[in-house]
């Protein structure tokens, strides 16, 4: 791939990195990354992927920007309140790097449409804020053999891992076979979240995505990272494939996608 002078200038600080160069920049330009959620995790992840020159970014979110989002969802600005998050996000990413193609999905992502959407992407970043979506994204990535970089945040804590069962590692269900019963795990709305924690985890998701695209470093597959902002500690746990996983185990009971949330529920239930 040939680069213009402007492109070389824009990406010069990463193109001089070892094992990066023009080849690495070409890999990024040809890459397509799907981001589930243009919120606290999706915002910093999308910004860094766009800044690095990832060619295509898919952004899915059916919510509109609200004032209480701005404390952590840094894709959006005060004048964006009321806009669809994907519209606001596309605008911000275009102003950061006009070379990046941003595909937006403002419809609810369900068992009916997710496979058709993620098939065009090589990597999926999950920054969703609810368990039905988290399990749907995991199962869809398993069926489509897509690498999933998963992040989660609550209060002062964050979690991160990469799931690629197609390469031998565990899937999300190997750790958490089923969603918790509704109401047993508090949401951000109920429990709160420190905005900067979303930044830490979202940026780690972006960093892992860039490594996966470039094929450098050690993947987070088979490792689960726990972050606590109050003690400023990172704890890493080794994880492996669960032979009795209902999805990727030896006798799988899940053979199709499941919508844990009936599609007739209004968006305010999210
Ligand atoms: Zn599994």
Closest CA to 158 of 224, 71, 223: 224
What is the distance in A from the centroid of ligand 1 to the CA of 222? 11
pTM of the model as a whole: 0.95
What is the distance in A from the centroid of ligand 1 to the CA of 244? 8
Beta bridge mates, 33: 57, 123
What is the distance in A from the centroid of ligand 1 to the CA of 123? 18
What is the distance in A from the centroid of ligand 1 to the CA of 171? 4
What is the distance in A from the centroid of ligand 1 to the CA of 13? 39
What is the distance in A from the centroid of ligand 1 to the CA of 259? 18
Residue 33 has phi, psi (to 5 degrees) of -120, 130
What is the distance in A from the centroid of ligand 1 to the CA of 177? 8
The helix/strand/coil state of 28 is helix
Q: Which residue has the tokens 């990066």?
A: 20
pLDDT of residue 263: 47
pLDDT of residue 211: 98
Beta bridge mates, 154: 157
The helix/strand/coil state of 216 is coil
What is the distance in A from the centroid of ligand 1 to the CA of 236? 19
What is the distance in A from the centroid of ligand 1 to the CA of 247? 5
Low-confidence residues of the chain: pLDDT under 50 = 263-270
Query: Residue 32, exposed/middle/buried by CB under 10 A (0-12, 13-18, 19+)?
Result: middle
- Alpha carbons within 13 angstroms on the beta-carbon side of residue 35 total 36
The helix/strand/coil state of 103 is strand
What is the distance in A from the centroid of ligand 1 to the CA of 103? 29
What is the distance in A from the centroid of ligand 1 to the CA of 145? 12
What is the distance in A from the centroid of ligand 1 to the CA of 149? 15
What is the distance in A from the centroid of ligand 1 to the CA of 64? 33
Tell me the C-alpha to C-alpha distance, in Å, between residue 160 and each of 18, 149, 207, 253: 26, 8, 11, 26
What is the distance in A from the centroid of ligand 1 to the CA of 227? 23
- What are all long-range contacts of 132-136, with beta carbons under 8 Å and residues at least 24 apart? 132/179, 132/259, 132/260, 132/261, 133/36, 133/37, 133/109, 134/172, 134/179, 135/172, 135/173, 135/178, 135/179, 135/258, 135/260, 136/109, 136/110, 136/111, 136/257, 136/258, 136/259, 136/260
Q: How many CB atoms lie within 10 A of CB 234?
A: 13
The helix/strand/coil state of 176 is coil
What is the distance in A from the centroid of ligand 1 to the CA of 11? 38
């Amino acid at each position: 791939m040939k680069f213009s002078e402007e492109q070389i200038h824009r990406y010069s600080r990463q193109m001089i990195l070892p094992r990066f160069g023009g080849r690495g920049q070409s890999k990024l330009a040809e890459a397509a990354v799907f981001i589930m959620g243009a919120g606290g995790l999706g915002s910093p992840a999308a910004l860094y992927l766009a800044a690095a020159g990832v060619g295509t970014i898919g952004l899915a979110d059916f919510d509109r920007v609200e004032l209480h989002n701005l404390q952590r969802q840094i894709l959006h600005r005060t004048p964006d309140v009321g806009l669809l998050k994907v519209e606001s996000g596309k605008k911000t990413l275009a102003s950061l790097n006009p070379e990046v193609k941003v595909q937006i999905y403002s419809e609810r992502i369900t068992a009916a449409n997710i496979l058709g959407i993620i098939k065009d992407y090589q990597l999926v970043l999950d920054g969703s804020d609810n368990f039905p979506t988290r399990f749907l994204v995991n199962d869809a990535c398993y069926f489509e053999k897509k690498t999933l970089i998963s992040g989660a945040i609550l209060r002062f804590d964050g979690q991160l891992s990469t799931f690629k069962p197609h390469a031998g590692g565990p899937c999300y269900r190997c750790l958490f076979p089923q969603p918790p019963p509704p109401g047993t795990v508090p949401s951000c709305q109920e429990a709160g979240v420190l905005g900067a924690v979303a930044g830490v985890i979202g940026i780690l998701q972006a960093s892992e995505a860039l490594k996966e695209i470039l094929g450098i470093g050690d993947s987070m597959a088979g490792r689960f990272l726990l972050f606590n902002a109050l003690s400023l500690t990172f704890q890493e746990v080794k994880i492996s494939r669960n032979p009795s996983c209902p999805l990727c185990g030896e006798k799988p009971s899940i053979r199709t996608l499941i919508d844990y949330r009936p599609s007739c529920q209004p968006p305010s239930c999210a």
